[in-house]
Amino acid sequence: MTAKRTILTGIFLLVIVLGLFPILAMIAASLHADGRWTFDSYQGLLTSRREWALLRHSFVLAASVSLLTALFGVPLGILFGKTDFPMRRFFTIAFTVPLMIPPYITAIGWADFLGANGLFAKLCGEAAAGAAYNLLFGFTGCLFVLFSTFLPVVILLTMTSLKSVHPRLEDAGRLVTGWPGVLRRITVPLILPSILFGIILVFLLTIGEFGVPNFLRYDVFVLESFVQFSAFYNFGAATAAVLPLALFTVLALLIEWVFLRERFHEVQTVPEKAASPVIELGGCRTGSFVWTAVFCLTVVALPLTVLVGRSFSVSVYASALAVASDSLLRSLVYAVLGASLLSLVGFFMGYLVGRQALPFWRTADTLTIFLFALPSAVIGIGLISLWNRPLTNFIYGSSTMIIIGYLVKYAALTSRITASTLSMIPQSMEDAGELAGLGWMRRIGWIVAPMARKGLLGGWLVGYVFCLRDLETTMIIYPPGHETLPVRIMTLMANSPPERIAALCVVMACATVVPPALAWSLVSLKRGGRNHETH
């Protein structure tokens, strides 16, 4: 067995053991009680009207968020990725911020803004604020907050897929019709699979979202399994309650598999030198800029600014850090560890998928995507089913559980980023190394990894952000004394002053956003310096 086959198979098996085994163990555990096999846990499933109502709530919320993100995300993605829109890089980053922080922080910001003592009440009066506040707590609030959170998923996927459309296809269209026609008839149909994939992803992320519906008091199905698990500690019922969500995930991915996967390959690979044509907005430039700026201020800046304003005092931050500095430190350490392991596992999984290195590459890709799309409640309960045994208690009772949770949940991100980076490195680079007598590991270490370093750094940063913001998985599996900052904020919310919660939210947002921003600036600075030297 070659080193390549051994390592890639080993990593694939690791993902199966860490990710798939827990799900199977969870299902097995729910079917086994008092030493016999039984369907008792499932007998009450979906028999009450309440459960059906919760399922309907989840479905309608997820479908509405998906639709809204598509309606706004695709035009914004085209605006930032295809036109001469001013400050498009800034706006792309700005719209991404809500995705980088736990979504319930955005919800807290809105609640603060619309609350009785909030800015909205001062500006528009208490009656209007009361009405808006009531609107926030429920379906509308969940819809709005989750829309602003997942909007960048569609924006970024649209922007990325636009780069994969061969410029000549659009040039050919421009000879017969103007840009609106080219976009409508050529560009958008070509990137439609990516857009639909984004919509499916948003749907699944919304279905599994716990923090926002919990804070905004909107009953959805995922809350049911949390309640069964944490309040009643009814393991079988909790497993049964997450099963419909798992089925939703399987169904959605099946749709993606059957209808979309083959169509991805229709888009031609773009040669590096081919410059994508840019749409000149002309007279629409100012209008679109004003609209986007106002939209960005409302959706992104307002809730965060409110939190900064609410906590604007050194003493508030001092008291906030006094109660949660240990959680902050833990969050940072776990995020760095998680991101590093994710980068390692994601690199090899990405290599397996991107290079189609072994026959099971497609299964590996589907598995990581399945685990990413699966609601965290399913993963969390599954991990406990597998590891909560006398033999493995040393793992179950340690922070390793949290790191495993991150690996299982987010391997798809670093894997897909690596696969996409590798698609830009010709296979011939590796072939040349092989002809020069380099073994696979050396080709990886000396040729592929250095050439893919920018993508690897990007993957690490994405892994860091997602590990740091994670609430749902951590909340279920964290051992006593290992709670992270998002969990700590959530538990403190019930009995802490709003100023302290606001301060912790700001600290959380800064811890998530600042390191990637610094890393990005350093890379840009280094690149700028190198360009300067060559000139």
Considering just the CA atoms, what is the radius of gyration of the chain in Å?
A: 24
Minimal distance, residue 278 CB to other proteins, in Å: 12
Minimal distance, residue 473 CB to other proteins, in Å: 38
What would the two tokens of residue 9 be? 């198979």
Residue whose CB is less far from other proteins, 198 or 486? 198
Q: Is 169 in the site for other proteins (CB under 8 A)?
A: yes
Residue whose CB is less far from other proteins, 50 or 527? 527
Residue whose CB is less far from other proteins, 267 or 302? 267
Q: Is 84 in the site for other proteins (CB under 8 A)?
A: no
Q: What are phi and psi of 436, to 5 degrees?
A: -80, 0
Q: Count H helices, E strands: the chain?
A: 30, 2
| Residue in 10, 181, 445, 450 binding other proteins, rule: CB under 8 A | 181
Q: Which of 184, 159, 162 is nearest to 174 (CA)?
A: 184
* Nearest-angstrom CA–CA distance, 482 and 179: 54
As to burial, measured by CB atoms within 10 angstroms (0-12 exposed, 13-18 middle, 19+ buried), residue 247 is exposed
Residue whose CB is less far from other proteins, 267 or 504? 267
Minimal distance, residue 190 CB to other proteins, in Å: 6
| Residue in 102, 103, 141, 173 binding other proteins, rule: CB under 8 A | 173
Q: Is 83 in the site for other proteins (CB under 8 A)?
A: no
Q: Which stretch binds other proteins (CB under 8 A): 61-69, 169-177, 383-391, 422-430?
A: 169-177
Minimal distance, residue 173 CB to other proteins, in Å: 7
- Count the residues of the shown chain that bind other proteins, applying the rule CB under 8 A: 21
Residue whose CB is less far from other proteins, 5 or 174? 174
Minimal distance, residue 268 CB to other proteins, in Å: 7
Q: Is 114 in the site for other proteins (CB under 8 A)?
A: no
Residue whose CB is less far from other proteins, 14 or 284? 284
Q: Is 362 in the site for other proteins (CB under 8 A)?
A: no
Q: Which stretch binds other proteins (CB under 8 A): 75-83, 146-154, 166-174, 345-353?
A: 166-174
| Residue in 32, 122, 174, 217 binding other proteins, rule: CB under 8 A | 174
Helix or strand holding residue 32 (H, E):
strand 32-33
Residue whose CB is less far from other proteins, 178 or 450? 178
| Residue in 1, 175, 322, 435 binding other proteins, rule: CB under 8 A | 175
Q: Which stretch binds other proteins (CB under 8 A): 103-111, 182-190, 245-253, 401-409?
A: 182-190
Minimal distance, residue 177 CB to other proteins, in Å: 4
Q: Is 172 in the site for other proteins (CB under 8 A)?
A: yes
* Nearest-angstrom CA–CA distance, 23 and 4: 28
* Nearest-angstrom CA–CA distance, 484 and 482: 6
Helix or strand holding residue 36 (H, E):
strand 36-37
Q: Is 530 in the site for other proteins (CB under 8 A)?
A: no
Q: What are phi and psi of 36, to 5 degrees?
A: -140, 160
Query: In 208-283, which residue ranges form alpha helices assigned H by DSSP?
Result: 211-215, 221-226, 235-255, 261-264
* Nearest-angstrom CA–CA distance, 370 and 246: 9
Question: Are 119 and 305 contacting, i.e. CB atoms less than 8 angstroms apart?
Answer: no
Question: Are 109 and 97 contacting, i.e. CB atoms less than 8 angstroms apart?
Answer: no
Residue whose CB is less far from other proteins, 175 or 494? 175
Question: Are 511 and 332 contacting, i.e. CB atoms less than 8 angstroms apart?
Answer: yes
Question: Are 42 and 242 contacting, i.e. CB atoms less than 8 angstroms apart?
Answer: no
Question: CB-side exposure of 491: number of CA atoms within 13 Å?
Answer: 14
Q: Which stretch binds other proteins (CB under 8 A): 41-49, 165-173, 306-314, 411-419?
A: 165-173
Residue whose CB is less far from other proteins, 151 or 186? 186
Q: Is 261 in the site for other proteins (CB under 8 A)?
A: no
| Residue in 21, 59, 166, 319 binding other proteins, rule: CB under 8 A | 166
Q: Is 118 in the site for other proteins (CB under 8 A)?
A: no
* Nearest-angstrom CA–CA distance, 412 and 395: 23
Binding string, residues 412-451; x marks residues near other proteins by CB under 8 A:
----------------------------------------
Q: Which of 51, 74, 46, 56 is nearest to 194 (CA)?
A: 74
Q: Is 38 in the site for other proteins (CB under 8 A)?
A: no
Q: Is 277 in the site for other proteins (CB under 8 A)?
A: yes
Query: In 35-187, which residue ranges form alpha helices assigned H by DSSP?
Result: 40-43, 49-82, 88-100, 103-114, 119-124, 126-136, 139-163, 167-174, 179-182
Binding string, residues 183-222; x marks residues near other proteins by CB under 8 A:
--xx--xx--------------------------------
Residues 6+ apart with CB under 8 A from 486: 102, 211, 331, 468, 469, 470, 471, 474, 508
Q: Which of 518, 454, 412, 461 is nearest to 99 (CA)?
A: 461
Q: Which stretch binds other proteins (CB under 8 A): 40-48, 121-129, 180-188, 319-327?
A: 180-188
The residue written with tokens 């709670």 in the block is: 483
Q: Is 268 in the site for other proteins (CB under 8 A)?
A: yes
| Residue in 47, 177, 356, 398 binding other proteins, rule: CB under 8 A | 177
Task: Tell me 391's DSSP state.
Answer: G
* Nearest-angstrom CA–CA distance, 366 and 189: 24
Q: Is 178 in the site for other proteins (CB under 8 A)?
A: yes
Given the rule CB under 8 A, which residues bind other proteins? 166, 168-169, 171-178, 181, 185-186, 189-190, 263, 266-268, 277
